[in-house]
Structure 1
Amino acid sequence: MTEKKRGKALNLGESRILIAGAASLVGSHTADLLLEAGAREVILLDNFAFGSMDAIAHLVGNPRIKVLRADLMRLPDLLAATENVDGVVHLAAYMTLGFAQTPWQAVDVNIRGAQNMLEACRVNKVGKVVFASSNAVYGYGSGIHGALVENGPFHSEGAPPAAILYGVSKIMGEQLCRQYHQKHGLDYVVLRYSTVYGERQHYRAANSLYIMETYDRVKKGERPLLPGDGKDTKHFVHVSDVARANVAALGSTATDIAVNVSGPEPITTGELVKLVLDYCKSDLQPEVKPDPPDTVRLTSGGAFHIPHELAGREIGWQPEVRMKEGVERLLAWREAQEAG
């Protein structure tokens, strides 16, 4: 067997790292962890169309933090931002709901925006790129079952167009990374996130939004809604585990590879609702109410799971936060926000 080529491992203590899409759930937690790892400087790049200063307010004023307003669609912005940068974590993207609402902008940002960032990294000889992809690259619909391993096919039968468009945009982003590696030697690692949730949660996701919607209903004394029989499968990963994966990828010698970043185990919708009810100490009973036809829900239906063993071998990562702990941490944060 041919030994896999290894790439550049960044010494974080000597590195300047840029996070694109930094004013976000994943971006802010990744910045926290990079500072803990001793990064020389962390550049928080965002155009603040969706990102919020609230997510990074605790970082402002840190001498090793630089906040930069810039746009992925403007290559000159990215060329200036990546000058003398050692590594880039590319998070900036539209999610599935964006593809349902504003598909033109979503296609531009997720594909041309990624290409612009890679071109800026090529020009400025950035050492390593971590590209945030998604388990959406496996598609959706009735054809999904078993283990969704990294070399698996794409499924689209019966899935909403927005979900398919999002998945395809991530496939194209991954392949642009491969092309820049093959043609220009740019080292990269693709991380295929499952649905990310956790403290500093926003209301723009699909599955993670369901946690917040359920909590909001229960706190108002309303029965939580189940879109089906409660047995459909959801795949989550806590944001702290995702941040660790981003940092591990930067510090590893892995390159030219895509790995799953998933939680310890899948969960059903019924189990998820019960976690929220238990946290709220509520005896409300769920109400079965199917989603309208145009509702976007991800990674639902089918007996499948998303293994992460390859990430363990390639970047030395595995998840730590189980779903019960993660939901409790998220809802405790939410309560603190309400109290504050």
Structure 2
Amino acid sequence: MKITITGGSGFIGSSLVKSLLKEQITIFDTKKPKFDVNFVEGDINNIDNVIVATKDADVVIHLAAALGVINTERNPVKTLDTNIVGTRNVLESCRLNDVKKIIFSSSSEVYGEPIKVPISESDKPIPITTYGISKLAAEEYIKSYSKSYGIRYTILRLFNVYGDEQGTQWVVPEFVSKAVNNDDIIIHGTGSQIRAFCYVTDVADAFRITLEKGDGETFNIGNDKEPISIKNLAERVISLADSKSSIRSIPFEKSDRNRSEIMNRAPNIEKADKLLGYHPVVSLDEGILQIIRNKKPN
């Protein structure tokens, strides 16, 4: 199978490529990948670049996006352009190159503050962030292109992905980095926010499965087994790292976040289980320990 992965040099993309090395992979990204696969350098905001990258592809896995709470809230116009116009460029390239299917990396941010938890795909999306709005708009573009041009699609709404090659601007690697250095771990507010973290290899597995399943469907992808508060996550990291770190709380208004925090977010993944046979296997402790091993000095 010939697969083009936009954003394939990134955190999720690298894990996914590693699981698909038996296929004919093309990575489309602004930076070179660490794997020896076909690479097209470019930006999804440049449709000519995307057309080249998707030529002859059977499937496009679209991961490239503007990411991060702070980054996307500080740069709302760029976020909208990259995540909406960039996705339209990918779709138009799929149409021109007769690509059979697109698999889209969406986000749990589309739900906003959930009406109920765990969140199901049938729950109404009410995004409260620029990022969430951009992902929901991109989903609608994908459905419209499918209806108009017959491009098959699967949409995966990802819940709090983490892993050992993730940057420290994300919460789990940040906490681990602080813990292994015995530095204070900072939480926002009381740390009572609930999240359900999913290890990156389990997320990559979902993309692999949907190469041949899940057409015309939207799925929550995450680990529903161990929802945890941010404060308890910090305590868990400190314990597993055998750290002397202390936990320090700062009010939201004194933090670098300029939006209201979503207080409770965890997925219902029954649909992915039933239709895809998707089962996350990496426990939270296993995932944290993997990051600790890679961050501790030798």
Secondary structure at 2:110 match in 1:
helix
| Cα offset, 1:125, TM superposition | 1.3
1:201 matched residue in structure 2: 166
Within the alignment, does 1:66 sit opposite 2:52 as a pair? no
Q: Which amino acid aligns with 1:198?
A: G
Gaps of 5+ in 1: 1-14
Question: What is the TM-score when the length of structure 1 is the normalising length?
Answer: 0.81
Alignment of 1:94 with 2:66, yes or no, is: yes
* 2:230 paired residue number: 269
Measured after TM superposition, the shift of residue 216 of structure 1 is 3.0
**Distance in structure 2 (CA, Å) of the matches to 1:215 and 1:221:** 10
Change (3 A) 1:104 1:203: farther
The count of residues paired between Structure 1 and Structure 2 equals 295
Matches within 5 A, 1:141-156: 144-155=115-126
Please state if 1:33 is matched with 2:36: no
**Equivalent residue, structure 1, for 2:155:** 190
Report the identity percentage. Answer: 27
8 Å CA contact retained: 2:112, 2:126:
yes
Could you list the runs of 5+ residues in structure 2 that have no partner in the other structure? Answer: none
Contact 2:50 / 2:90 at 8 angstroms: preserved in 1? yes
The answer (yes or no) to whether the contact 2:188–2:255 under 8 Å persists in 1 is no
Which residue identity does 1:217 align to in structure 2? Answer: K
Equivalence for 2:96: 123
- What pairs up with 1:286-325 in 2 under 5 angstroms? 286-291=247-252, 292=254, 294-295=256-257, 300-302=262-264, 305-325=266-286
CA distance in 2, matches of 1:197, 1:327: 9
Q: Which amino acid aligns with 1:270?
A: K
Tell me if structure 1 keeps the 8 A contact 2:15–2:200. yes
Contact 1:201 1:330 (C-alpha < 8 Å) held by counterparts: no
For residue 33 of structure 1, what is the amino acid of its counterpart?
S
Q: CA deviation at 1:230?
A: 3.2
Counterpart of 1:255?
Answer: 215
Q: Partner amino acid for 1:310?
A: K
Report the equivalent of 1:243.
Answer: 204
Query: 2:198, 2:293 → 1: CA distance?
Result: 17
Partner of 2:194: 233
SS at match of 1:148: coil
Aligned partner of 1:222: which letter?
D
Q: Does 1:110 align with 2:64?
A: no
Correspondence for 2:28 among 29, 41, 45 = 45
Mapped contact 2:152–2:215 kept (Cα < 8 A): yes
2: distance between equivalents of 1:124 and 1:220?
50
